[in-house]
A and B are shown apart, each in its own frame.
Chain A
């Protein structure tokens, strides 16, 4: 990798973190009053707003309805001002469509869809500020919005991206590390059962390193789970204390 040193000899990364350190997580539930569930989640400088509506009757053509479970509909969009270079289209380009598909696959595993036959659950995620790990932030934000909406889930879905530089897995990569072109693996985990809901790898990674990277990702997702569940508990405590 030319130019930038992603991991210094002292073991610090470009933004001053350690290899296994996550960025700061901030999250607020119920930011939008009209939606059934909403959450704003910020991981370092990446910020996403997730809105959940449903379960409700199928909109549009009724033929989409499934007789045994709910349809999960996802839409991913990026604000035109979210990246340093202005984006032309907020959604509908290939990357966004792929991202919507990945989100749908992730949440079809996690939501107990069999409880709501012939209905639909919408998940809309909007990236407001992008600094690497967009998929992961979207998954975490959507999980929080689903919790806010009270939709039954198998477990929290916690996602984290892991890069690999100098034989060391780097947890929760930022844009600079993502753009350097090394391998980046995105993992969505159901932390309690340690089941993998989604897994993707960009660029190549030697098979021998796979277990190490997976392990780092699992630990990071568990850490995230601890943070997210703490935030949910705090929010609920505040809500009940107010009554």
Chain B
């Protein structure tokens, strides 16, 4: 819980933090991972930087004074290519799992609002993730382009197109990365392919999330499964 931003007093905040740990790859040791981490943080921030992605109005408690701040921390444990897409999928899954406790606001005699948290820990709302975007990265290799690139493919790709897509196919952010240039014609083609892939990805994720919810505690996927 914290104070809302000055330019959006009636909205909650979503803060991203990405950490590329040294575990993931030797080149991330020390400060080595900061560059990739900043890239992913900024890309996520850009994609989520409109009020329709996460219902931020619902995260406001007292306009101008109190709101919920969601800290989204991404920790990269192993590097196997296509980091941004994986991170954004994990963010969506984590947001889906997020519960925000219900609070009641009352004003005392001096007009100062008091916030009361419900005693029941299960008295909370689930975050609506229908509009949460996920990234689809299209890597241009030679004259072709591929999605979900492996590290080897990433090493030989010259240009990348990062698309943040909602489950209905709406674009929320768009970024071209890399040293080579892209032909406008091919960009349209890439966007079309990206939209199709994005829809499939969202569908697959939603499907597995619903399956997860129905599982009992015992057979959930975990490291020590």
Partners in one complex: yes
Chain A residues in the interface with B (C-beta under 8 A): 26, 28, 31-35, 38, 40, 42, 47, 49, 51, 53, 59, 75, 77, 79-81, 86, 90, 122, 124, 126, 128
Listed stretches B76-84, B101-109, B123-131; interface member? B76-84
B145 CB-CB contact with A under 8 Å: no
Identify 12 residue pairs between A and B in the complex whose beta-carbon atoms are under 8 Å apart, listed by A's number.
A31-B223, A34-B25, A34-B80, A75-B22, A80-B17, A80-B19, A80-B71, A80-B75, A90-B19, A90-B75, A124-B22, A126-B21
Which of A32, A38, A122, A128 contacts B29, CB < 8 Å? A122
For B23, what are the chain A residues with a Cβ–Cβ distance below 8 Å?
32, 35, 38, 49, 51, 124, 126
- Chain B residue nearest to A80 (CB atoms) is B73
B112 CB-CB contact with A under 8 Å: no
For B22, what are the chain A residues with a Cβ–Cβ distance below 8 Å?
51, 75, 77, 122, 124
Does A42 lie within 8 Å of B224, measured CB to CB?
A: yes
For A79, what are the chain B residues with a Cβ–Cβ distance below 8 Å?
19, 73, 75
For B25, what are the chain A residues with a Cβ–Cβ distance below 8 Å?
34
Does B26 lie within 8 Å of A40, measured CB to CB?
A: no
Which chain B residues numbered 28 to 61 have a C-beta less than 8 Å away from chain A? 29-30
Does A86 lie within 8 Å of B77, measured CB to CB?
A: no
- Chain B residue nearest to A125 (CB atoms) is B23
For A126, what are the chain B residues with a Cβ–Cβ distance below 8 Å?
21, 23, 75, 77
- Chain B residue nearest to A74 (CB atoms) is B22
Chain B residues in the interface with A (C-beta under 8 A): 17, 19, 21-23, 25-26, 29-30, 71, 73, 75, 77-80, 223-224
For A28, what are the chain B residues with a Cβ–Cβ distance below 8 Å?
223-224
How far is B123's CA from A61's CA once the two chains are assembled, in angstroms?
Answer: 56
For A33, what are the chain B residues with a Cβ–Cβ distance below 8 Å?
78
Minimum Cβ distance to chain A for residue B154 (Å)? 15
For A90, what are the chain B residues with a Cβ–Cβ distance below 8 Å?
19, 21, 75
How far is B75's CA from A90's CA once the two chains are assembled, in angstroms?
Answer: 10
Does B224 lie within 8 Å of A124, measured CB to CB?
A: no
How far is B75's CA from A96's CA once the two chains are assembled, in angstroms?
Answer: 17
Does A124 lie within 8 Å of B29, measured CB to CB?
A: yes
- Chain A residue nearest to B20 (CB atoms) is A90
Does A32 lie within 8 Å of B78, measured CB to CB?
A: yes
A28-B223, A53-B26, A126-B77 given; 15 more Cβ-contact pairs under 8 Å: A26-B224, A28-B224, A31-B223, A32-B23, A34-B79, A35-B78, A49-B77, A49-B223, A75-B29, A77-B19, A79-B19, A122-B29, A124-B21, A124-B29, A128-B75
How far is B27's CA from A122's CA once the two chains are assembled, in angstroms?
Answer: 12
For B19, what are the chain A residues with a Cβ–Cβ distance below 8 Å?
77, 79-80, 90
- Chain A residue nearest to B23 (CB atoms) is A51
Which of B73, B75, B79, B223 contacts A40, CB < 8 Å? B223
For A59, what are the chain B residues with a Cβ–Cβ distance below 8 Å?
26
How far is B1's CA from A22's CA once the two chains are assembled, in angstroms?
Answer: 36
Top-5 shortest CB links A-B: A124-B22, A51-B23, A80-B73, A90-B19, A32-B78
For B77, what are the chain A residues with a Cβ–Cβ distance below 8 Å?
32, 49, 126
For A40, what are the chain B residues with a Cβ–Cβ distance below 8 Å?
223-224
Which of B30, B73, B79, B223 contacts A81, CB < 8 Å? B73
How far is B25's CA from A44's CA once the two chains are assembled, in angstroms?
Answer: 28
Does A34 lie within 8 Å of B223, measured CB to CB?
A: no
